[in-house]
């Protein structure tokens, strides 16, 4: 008799955004006349830019002709894209990352869920709290969670690093030494960033303890403040302790196009084994490359025109962030994030729980946000709004929230 | 100190097709004047058909306009595609599979590697021998392999079901009861098929023992013989014991486009838990949907024009298969497969090992095939050729092989 993976049964509730989707759909069915504005899930709304769509069209044409048709992509990504990434995202910033240290994939969500596979089951992981749910859930599914505690609203084997207003939503090095440390800056969900010196402390700590940092840089394009690192490899010694995840979803609007990459430096070894070779093996065995046409679109992101257009997208969303920040602050809300990140993190008013505020906002303002408690126990009492809506919808949503 | 997943170190050599790629590249560097013909990896060579490229272009245009832009796809696939699959691949064949039992993904390789995750670590798996390497490797990486034995050239905890000419390359039910049984028909690598009665025996056995069959139907479009099942759900009771994997790579030429799907019937439960819900949870946590444009291309495969074009592609490759079969048989080779499958399985001549024949063919005929031993110990002494080349190259390759 086959036995199922019981670790799945330890997961609490369904995946956060599936739950929100169901709640919103139910509301719409009951209130067909209401215009619901979604500032919940971090999904972009601007169309792909002209340079990107041209690259896609050209690549489709190539695929339609025998002479230029392409079958299986190289497992780890086409050289043209890996080189463009290394040159633009790293060398231009003074980071010594080579093209063959870059693994192209169909998105940072997949990579952030799969990366834990190359590590043994009995590692202790540490996460920020609140946190992007995939880091925790993928580890629970792999048996690294221990058991769920009603009391702490967390898992016994996971080290939670509270990120609260008291510490500017930056995690502190925990008492217990973690083996794997998940960090994400600009942060999802809080929108917080940390400076280079602060990040350097984590790198030094990981190198000292032999830990590995999984650094999620999905939102780096939103950084505007001087001195905030765009990559962990700006820190000294990061190549011997850090893996970095990147997404094209939020800078280039690829949430529905699917492209991302992960950097595993060749110098990164543990137990004498190269993590680069382990991840390469995972990729070549369980993955089959991102679509050729999508990789060409990724390449176009780094063209001169592409870069300009992408900067325009980021500016568009950051205008939204500013409107939300100023609007809610003016209305008396306590808000943070939204300066170097497309997320605004607000304290729920009148002592409401996160889900109470979710229902309140949906019912009174017909605005969808994300309950902070969905990101972890220390997200309780907070709420996330995203800047990824259209400007018109964002203005309307904020104006509605102000008066409820 | 972080600990790596030591199971990865048990894998023998690198992924088969990576090894072949490296060998061929080395040959080309040393022999730049030689025209190498590749009939090794099962990669298609015909361009995408007009209906497919039109669907891709149209979808790209939609993504370039704000009104029609699409962000994150539904985790499990767009309804338009899931419905087209259910209608065409199942209902038209009399199989009662619903759209919401279909999980759209970026390919059958990924799904076949990931599906084992929803099962506990201490299940015994059974595979055909020879076999598509991903089934075995993904289970070794998850710790289900036991240790590698030099003597048997296999893993101690895996049940191998020899597929030899004596049994028409069909596996026999093993003595030891497996928990998870991987079957693939039309078979990769042998090109063998089994009839519906034979498949029904496996379904009855799995239902009796509580085992689960992972049925890989990636090559079903190549079936020409009446009575050979296209889907395991043509068998009675399969919905309570079988998961089916499908690819768009081989019928529609999507190896570089990336699209596949997996069927997990809602009736399929073990330990009282729905495997459908477990796979849904895996998808929503660690995957983010196939690209919208690619899903529209998948939909086009099922249009009237699309179906005609796809049939043309399959005919094209099957003409190659026929040429290889007849040519090699005429030259005195012992060959099988190639009738309901795009793979030709040949016995190496003069007692050569599979890799000796690989080198021999590469050096003398400059033709690349796949050594049978790369698919498992009982593949030793065999060799796989694919029908996925161009007709001209296929003819030239066969004519070259005939005279060496």
pLDDT digits (tens, 9 = 90+) for B138-183: 999 999 999 999 999 899 999 999 999 999 999 999 999 999 999 9
Cα–Cα distances (Å) from B390 to B67, B313, B355, in that order, read: 42, 11, 25
**Whole-angstrom Cα distance, residue A24 to residue A362?**
8
Residue contact B4–A120, C-beta within 8 A: yes
Residue of A nearest to B252 (CA): A71
B285-323: per-residue pLDDT in tens?
Answer: 999 999 999 999 999 999 999 999 999 999 999 999 999
- The pTM score is 0.96
Q: Which domains are seen in chain B, by residue range?
A: 7-46+305-403 (3.90.1150.10), 54-303 (3.40.640.10)
**Whole-angstrom Cα distance, residue A123 to residue A101?**
24
**Whole-angstrom Cα distance, residue A59 to residue A297?**
8
Query: What number is the average pLDDT over the span B267-289?
Result: 96
Helix and strand element counts for chain B (H, E): 11, 17
What's the gap in Å between the CA of A373 and the closest CA on chain B? 18
Q: Specify the pLDDT at position A301.
A: 98
Q: Specify the pLDDT at position A15.
A: 67
A141-152: per-residue pLDDT in tens?
Answer: 999 999 999 999
Bridge-based pairing of strands B269-270 and B273-274 is antiparallel
Contact B66/A at CB under 8 A:
yes
**Whole-angstrom Cα distance, residue B15 to residue A357?**
51
pLDDT at position A13 over 80? no
Query: What number is the average pLDDT over the span B388-398?
Result: 97
Residue of B nearest to A274 (CA): B4
Q: Tokens 């040949």 correspond to what residue?
A: B346
CA–CA–CA angle B102, B108, B113 (5° rounding): 110
pLDDT at position A26 over 80? yes
Band of the pLDDT at B199, cuts 50, 70, 90?
very high
**Whole-angstrom Cα distance, residue B42 to residue B17?**
10
Q: Tokens 């809602």 correspond to what residue?
A: B266
Rg (CA), chain B: 21
What's the gap in Å between the CA of B403 and the closest CA on chain A? 29
* Option in B258, B285, B286 nearest A288 (CB): B258
**Whole-angstrom Cα distance, residue B237 to residue A121?**
36
Name the burial class of residue A88, with classes exposed (0-12), middle (13-18) and buried (19+) by CB atoms within 10 angstroms of its CB.
middle
Which of helix, strand or coil describes residue A183?
A: strand
**Whole-angstrom Cα distance, residue B81 to residue B300?**
9
Question: Of chain B residues 308-367, which have a CB less than 8 A from chain A?
Answer: none
With contact defined as beta carbons under 8 Å apart, do B213 and B232 qualify? Answer: yes
pLDDT at position B41 over 90? no
Residue A368's closest CA among A35, A130, A14? A35
HSE, CB side, 13 Å, CA atoms: give it for residue A71.
Answer: 15
What's the gap in Å between the CA of A299 and the closest CA on chain B? 16
Residue of B nearest to A12 (CA): B281
Residue contact A8–B278, C-beta within 8 A: yes
Residue contact B286–A114, C-beta within 8 A: yes
Beta carbons within 8 Å of A337's beta carbon, 6+ residues apart: A169, A186, A187, A190, A191, A192, A343, A344, A345
Question: Of chain A residues 31-60, which have a CB less than 8 A from chain B?
Answer: 41, 43-50, 52-53, 56-57, 60
Residue contact A3–B122, C-beta within 8 A: yes
Tell me the chain B residues in contact with residue A72 when contact means C-beta distances shorter than 8 Å.
41, 43, 255-256
Tell me the chain B residues in contact with residue A73 when contact means C-beta distances shorter than 8 Å.
256
Query: What number is the average pLDDT over the span A136-159?
Result: 95
Residue A265's closest CA among A215, A321, A314? A215
Contact B94/A at CB under 8 A:
no
Residue A216 sits at φ, ψ, to 5 deg, of -95, 110
**Whole-angstrom Cα distance, residue B28 to residue B50?**
34
């Amino acid at each position: 008799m086959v036995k199922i993976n019981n670790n799945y049964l330890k997961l609490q509730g369904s995946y956060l955004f599936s739950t929100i989707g169901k709640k919103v759909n139910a509301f719409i069915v009951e209130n067909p006349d209401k215009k619901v504005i979604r500032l919940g899930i971090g999904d972009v709304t601007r169309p792909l830019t002209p340079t990107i769509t041209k690259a896609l069209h050209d690549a489709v044409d190539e695929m339609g002709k025998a002479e230029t048709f392409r079958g299986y992509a190289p497992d780890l990504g086409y050289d043209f894209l890996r080189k463009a990434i290394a040159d633009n995202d790293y060398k231009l910033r003074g980071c010594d990352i080579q093209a063959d240290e870059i693994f192209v994939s169909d998105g940072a969500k997949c990579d952030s869920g799969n990366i834990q596979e190359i590590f043994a089951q009995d590692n202790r992981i540490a996460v920020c709290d609140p946190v992007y749910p995939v880091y925790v859930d993928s580890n629970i599914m792999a048996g690294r969670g221990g058991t769920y505690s009603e009391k702490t609203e967390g898992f016994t084997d996971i080290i939670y690093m509270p990120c609260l207003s008291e510490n500017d939503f930056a995690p502190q090095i925990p008492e217990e030494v973690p083996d794997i440390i998940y960090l994400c800056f600009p942060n999802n969900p809080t929108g917080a960033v940390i400076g280079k010196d602060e990040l350097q402390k984590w790198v030094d700590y990981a190198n000292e303890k032999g830990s590995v940092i999984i650094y999620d840089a999905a939102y780096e394009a939103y950084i505007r403040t001087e001195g905030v690192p765009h990559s962990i490899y700006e820190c000294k010694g990061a190549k011997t302790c850090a893996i970095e995840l990147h997404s094209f979803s939020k800078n280039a609007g690829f949430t529905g196009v699917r492209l991302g990459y992960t950097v595993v430096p060749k110098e990164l070894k543990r137990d004498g084994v190269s993590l680069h070779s382990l991840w390469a093996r995972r990729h070549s065995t369980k993955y089959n490359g991102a679509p050729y046409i999508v990789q060409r679109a990724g390449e176009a992101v780094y063209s001169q025109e592409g870069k300009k257009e992408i900067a325009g997208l980021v500016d568009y969303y950051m205008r939204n962030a500013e409107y939300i920040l100023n609007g809610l602050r003016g209305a008396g809300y306590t808000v943070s994030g939204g300066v170097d990140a497309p997320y605004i993190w607000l304290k729920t008013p009148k002592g409401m729980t996160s889900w109470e505020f979710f229902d309140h906002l949906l019912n009174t303002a017909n605005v969808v946000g994300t309950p902070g408690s969905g990101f972890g126990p220390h997200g309780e009492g907070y709420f996330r709004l995203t800047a990824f809506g259209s400007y018109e919808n964002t203005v309307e949503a904020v104006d509605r929230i102000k008066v409820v």
